[in-house]
Structure 1
């Protein structure tokens, strides 16, 4: 008995001593983390080989031993929502741990768009709202051309506070807020997105190899850290050298064209929406200076103000009375600059912009605000007329070559792989803009013709990584964008990619499509109505994850023809009435506009062509007249289907 007791004490002592060495944990395991409720909790990390690590979270505990390489992994049984709790892993204590729902929000720049960008759309939704049960984990930008990494770059879980909210992804914010209001449980959002990236950057090389070997080969060219460093250096050197030459050549810099005192009476006057440059057919690389005079009354003289200069293509340095009030280095963000107290004075004031065009046609974006907003709410609209002068004409800025972050698999390796197997509730995928290039038939094609295959591979790849074949995906369909057209656009890359997204979603029992065909903007690839999109994402997750009845986008079931009358049946009742944006084609493949009327679950189309073989709806870059909706006012997805005879 005495010997048995001594053995037991010795065993306990060894366990206690082995647990004293510090464990190394992934970035996800930090104070404030959210653990998925009602599902097994996977915990992993590194320790000394053979080290025993005790793990405890709320009512669940276990012991695990690190393998010969020092890796350990343990799984705790599912637990109900609650917290805050402590998670103990060896001697490491993680505080303020909530058990709730965890979402992975991934994609490119439309997933990236922050609350700061969309704030003017939703001030009442954002001001003063704080919630310690909503936590945000932003994966930092990284890339790896060689192999998957063990962890993401340093980051942290941030609670939803007024101090943090502006940096939240807008989709992530509104989704988490909606889901919290519905469930009352903690919401954790892992935001993993990077602007301008194609879908193949988020897929493993192993998944791509069999069907897309050329894509894998593109990345293998850079399968060397020195090569990657050299390419990054070349990109930076090219941009820096171009900027240096521009600054030296720019007469506006040398002559002080930003100065309030500068005399611009001999400059040309142009409307901001006309061609800003003369003699260059719109294409101008270099510096273009613009000035306009603002008359400030005595009431607003000396007062602080907010300057809104819409959106510009592509860079700007903006000055008021010779003082720089803001700068933006690329084309997409709205220009919102603060004018400090005391800068504006009574009478004539000068607003000047050093407009830098690196890659395209310098222009102002329509339908954006151009004004001063004073603290008392008064506004002063800017004139559309500007004084313009060319500062320096430049050659095109060399790109330096390949953008490493866009290569196949590099973001999967560095930003996605390290997150698994952290238990998640579902994935929101908002991406596709960077795959709208039409390279049909070429061996390196990554456009609409193959996007569906790539998206399916990505979803299968991620499900395998999380060891969950039923991992829910909500695919956000591309919004309407670019100039509208009254006529059919048979080769619209945006329409074709939307159709690829639709087909992937409807043929996957664990995926849904969040339609955004009514949420876009003609002139902005980053539409601001993110709350409405997040609401549709939430409805998809209500159905996929919680099994609730949800009002989703109507989908066509089949199309039939009786001579020249085509009938399209849908899977739910629709709002009745005339429906523009329908097209039909005959065997030649030429699409023509057709009149259509909706009644109940069917749309009846009068075909202008004999023997129609296919029907399309809203199959354009920007089908502004698309208004086909369910009885619950959810828009139908654009589609193309064959007609049965």
Structure 2
């Protein structure tokens, strides 16, 4: 091969680039592997150019593709075989090189290929070569999958009040992070993502990194001294069933029915289109009829006739009736001379539902839903010395509009000066509207997120999983433990291996109740705790004590990450002596005289009297119980419960906590029957490390089913029932199509009815608006005239003062 290349490179051709292209083409097309090529020295550049372009085109059409998860800055799991896979032309040769290891394989007839490299120790950076593809700056270390909903997703920028210093200063190139883009699918498990962009931990990337993942990655890296990769596949508001495969929901027909509906051709597109039209109509009517959009933001508008309200009162529901639509609130602030013309930040806590905020008539920011903190930058040129006006337009879609208590409401200047906003605001309704029609979030439907955001990761190796989810399932806590167990078992089966699974128990949120309260949040926490004892190689990290009563997204994510990290140290890194959690109940026994005695897996309970315990008898009604700890056990008693049957602790939305170990770690919420004994840990055979297979070449896997790894089940694009009984499938499709037809007619009727109602509403409002338009224009004209006269009067007064001053000077002379 070298001889032929030298001959080409010695050719007397004017354009050397063409020679180089031809040489590369020879290597890439692998001609010299099978026979010797007789080269002809081209005397005509035109002929050479034609051949070079032809061969280059052949190479271009044979492009190899990797999954998106294989991208620059990625981390690959250490000490486990490295599976690399992708797509190419049928029968194309694929060459792979990483860290001195080289292997090759051939794509199958369907264009798929896969091969394994031997396990490697932590290190890097390395470059992965796959034919003409380069993946740069790769580290080998420990990779974790983090999934769940918004508290797993919450970015660092949202926690800036606590962690701004870290966010702006820490650089750690050994911690890498990738956020999987939102993708859902109901037809079949996907094989790849739209995009994946691994990021190094530094001030530039930190604001968009998950706060929990940020601190978890740093804790592991510092402790274990290995590179850490965090793959965050989470979606705010998502319920657990959205993260499950269709097969795992076999015992939940209602969820399967929802998935089947989304499976129908055109159903999602049609629904989204119709809902978008309804929302557009609602928003258009709101904006056309909102009296405040023309002048209520102005510094000069006179709001003295507006109602004065306390911002935390029921201004959004006068006379007890919720008013949806738009509400306007205005407040005057006095800015000192030293702050005039300075940049400032306006903090308006949290607002239900949406808002647009104006300072002296200029919009400084808006937010479309209730949860994000309102932090708006105010330009230096907007603020003047003396009187300034803040106007807030609050939009209520369905619920009661309101401001959230105990949040910051202030204007802060870059020189450190602050102006606390008053609780008293001028209020006026801008436009009354019917509640806006609900919106379908298809990413919350069963199976969609598993098929779109977990299935493409099944071949990618992790050393542990962290799950922070449950807020969206609190109303169905009775089924959560079973769903979580089935989800974990199914994930592990489809991955072909098992790793430790850490469950984050929900934080405290909302109100604390004086009397025993049947809390849905407490029931969900108990389901999480129960699942953690029944899932092999699983653990619970409670977020109790780290929440905020007025925010479903508490800021203390560093503390949550530390609790998760302790369980990872114990389970992943086998530090068995690590105290990774608070007191864990071992058994519950009946004591003397109606008492109940709790014992624990560790005899390190803080001593003294305790609160937050409740007992119930045959009636099932719970009563507060007296509780005392001797360091080893906790003894409960209640005069209202003579024969206790059940005990529970921290059973409230925002419970009182008192049960800690001597390290200060809190116990999780729990509920047990008297006589309970903790289950023994289950063995999980799949939890054993995968044996290293070295660089064995795997060819044509799609054609030879027997060559597929035994532990990796095939993910069929059709459902099991459809595969087993085609006739049953056809019947099912027919039923679904019939139902779809009925649903279509119903939706059409509903849509027509809605359009009719909105037309009448729109007509009535427009008529009213038109009738009052001349009046408003006249009032505006009179105000302008009044302002004009006032300015003229001010001018005359000023001239009169000057004349008086001159007259006095003349008199003195």
Using structure 2 for the length normalisation, give the TM-score: 0.75
How many angstroms does 1:563 deviate by? 2.1
**Does residue 479 of structure 1 match 2:507?**
yes
The SS at the match of 1:273 is coil
Give the Å deviation of 1:587. 0.9
In the alignment, does 2:159 pair up with 1:118?
yes
Q: What are the superposed Cα offsets for residues 56-104 of structure 1, whole Å, 9 maximum, x if unpaired?
A: 2103332222112111111111111111101111221111111111111
Match of 2:480 among 406, 428, 451: 451
SS at match of 1:303: coil
Q: CA deviation at 1:277?
A: 3.2
Q: Secondary structure at the match of 1:221?
A: helix
SS in 2 for 1:558: strand
The unaligned stretches of length 5 or more in structure 1 are 1-6, 438-446
Deviations 1:275-322 (A, max 9, x none): 113535152211000011111111111111111100111100001111
Contact 1:567 1:603 (C-alpha < 8 Å) held by counterparts: yes
Aligned partner of 2:563 among 536, 554, 557: 536
Are 2:698 and 1:632 aligned? no
Q: 1:91 to 1:565 in 2, by over 3 A?
A: same
State whether residues 579 and 627 of structure 1, in contact with CA within 8 Å, keep that contact through their aligned partners in structure 2: yes
Matched with 1:57 is 98
Question: Could you tell me how far 1:238 is from its partner in structure 2?
Answer: 2.2
- Contact kept? 2:316, 2:402, Cα under 8 Å: no
Match of 1:218 among 227, 236, 258: 258
Measure the CA separation in 1 of the matches of 2:436 and 2:447: 27
Alignment of structure 1 residues 99-118 onto 2, 5 Å: 99-118=140-159
Name the SS of the counterpart of 1:342 in structure 2.
helix
- Matched with 1:465 is 494
User: What's the counterpart of residue 284 of structure 1?
Assistant: 323
Query: What's 1:178 paired with?
Result: 219
Distance 2:562 2:275 in 1: 40
Partner of 2:448: 410
Note the C-alpha offset of 1:627: 2.3
CA contact (8 A) 2:316 2:400 kept: no
Q: For residue 727 of structure 2, what is the aligned residue in structure 1?
A: none
Higher helix fraction: Structure 1 or Structure 2? 2
Q: In the alignment, which of 232, 242, 248 is matched to residue 207 of structure 1?
A: 248
Structure 1 counterpart of 2:33:
10
- Is the Cα contact below 8 Å between 1:136 and 1:191 reproduced in 2? yes
Q: Residue 413 of structure 2 aligns with which residue?
A: 374
Corresponding residue number in structure 2 for 1:195: 236
CA distance in 2, matches of 1:12, 1:347: 89
Please report how far the alpha carbon of residue 395 of structure 1 lies from its aligned counterpart in structure 2 after TM superposition: 0.4
SS at match of 1:274: coil
Measure, in 1, the Cα distance between the counterparts of 2:323 and 2:538.
45
What are the equivalent positions in structure 2 for 1:168-317 lying under 5 Å apart? 168-209=209-250, 211-254=251-294, 256-277=295-316, 279-281=318-320, 283-317=322-356
Determine if the alignment matches structure 1 residue 569 to structure 2 residue 599: yes
In the TM superposition, 1:488-503 aligns within 5 A as 488-490=516-518, 492-503=519-530
Q: Is the 8 A contact 1:499 1:638 kept in 2?
A: yes
Whole-Å Cα distance in 2 between the matches of residues 355 and 423 of structure 1? 47
Distance 2:289 2:607 in 1: 62
Matches within 5 A, 1:316-335: 316-335=355-374
Distance apart, 1:18 and its partner CA: 9.1
Q: How far 1:215 moved relative to its partner? A: 1.1
| 1:435 lines up with 2:470 in the alignment | no
Which digits, 9 at most, give the CA deviation of each residue in 1:362-408, with x for residues without a partner? Answer: 111112111111112222111111111111110010025x3211111
How much does 1:213 deviate?
A: 2.3
Contact 1:19 1:53 in 2 (8 A): no
| SS of aligned partner of 1:119 | helix
Gap change, CA 1:422 and 1:11, over 3 Å in 2: farther
Verify: 1:67 aligned to 2:138, yes or no.
no
- How big is the shift at 1:225? 4.2
- Alignment match, 1:620: 652
Distance apart, 1:19 and its partner CA: 12
Matched, 1:419 2:419: no
Aligned to 2:41: none
How far is 1:480 from its partner?
Answer: 0.9
Please state whether the residue corresponding to 1:122 is helix, strand or coil: helix
- What is the rounded CA distance, in whole Å, between the counterparts of 1:384 and 1:113 in structure 2? 29
In structure 2, relative to structure 1, the CA distance for the partners of 1:389 and 1:18 (3 Å cut) is closer
Could you tell me how far apart the structure 2 residues matched to 1:176 and 1:238 are? 44
- Mark the CA change 1:602 to 1:262 in structure 2 (over 3 Å): closer, same or farther: same
Q: Distance in 2 between matches of 1:512 and 1:644?
A: 23
Q: 1:146 aligns with which of 187, 202, 212?
A: 187
Change beyond 3 A, Cα 1:150–1:575 = same
1:644 counterpart SS class: coil
Structure 1 residues 183 and 278: CA distance shift in structure 2, 3 A: closer
Structure 1 CA distance for aligned equivalents of residues 373 and 31 of structure 2: 68
Cα offset for 1:128?
1.1
C-alpha separation in 1, matches of 2:346 and 2:389: 13
**Residue equivalent to 1:4:** none
Aligned length: 622
Whether contact under 8 Å (1:19, 1:52) holds in the other structure is no
Aligned residues of 1:566 and 1:607 also touching (Cα < 8 A): no
Maintained 8 Å contact 1:551/1:634: no
**For the Cα contact (< 8 Å) 1:559–1:643, is it kept in 2?**
yes
Give the equivalent residue in structure 1 for 2:539. 512
Matched, 1:357 2:406: no
8 Å contact kept, 1:476–1:514: yes
* Superposed displacement of residue 460, structure 1: 1.0
The 5 Å alignment of 1:28-47 reads 28-47=69-88
Q: Which has the larger radius of gyration?
A: 2
Q: Where do residues 150-169 of structure 1 align in structure 2 (5 Å cutoff)?
A: 150-169=191-210
| 1:384-395 alignment runs, 5 A limit | 384-395=423-434
Shift of 1:241: 1.8
C-alpha distance in structure 2 between counterparts of 1:383 and 1:333, whole Å: 21
Alignment check: 8 A CA contact 2:506 2:525 kept: yes
Stretches of structure 2 lacking an aligned partner (at least 5 in a row): 1-29, 38-57, 677-813
Query: Contact (CA 8 Å) 2:485, 2:534: kept in 1 or not?
Result: no
Distance 2:301 2:31 in 1: 89
3-state secondary structure, aligned to 2:157: helix
Q: Distance in 1 between matches of 2:118 and 2:597?
A: 52
Residues 228-280 of structure 1, C-alpha deviations (whole Å, 9 max, x = no match): 111122232222221111101111113x1111111110111111111113535
Corresponding position: 1:586 with 2:617: yes
Partner SS state of residue 286, structure 2? helix
User: For residues 80 and 35 of structure 2, what CA distance do their matches in structure 1 show?
Assistant: 31
Coordinate RMSD, CA, aligned: 1.9
| Superimposed CA distance per residue, residues 107-126 of structure 1 (whole angstroms, 9 cap, x where no aligned partner) | 11111111000011122322
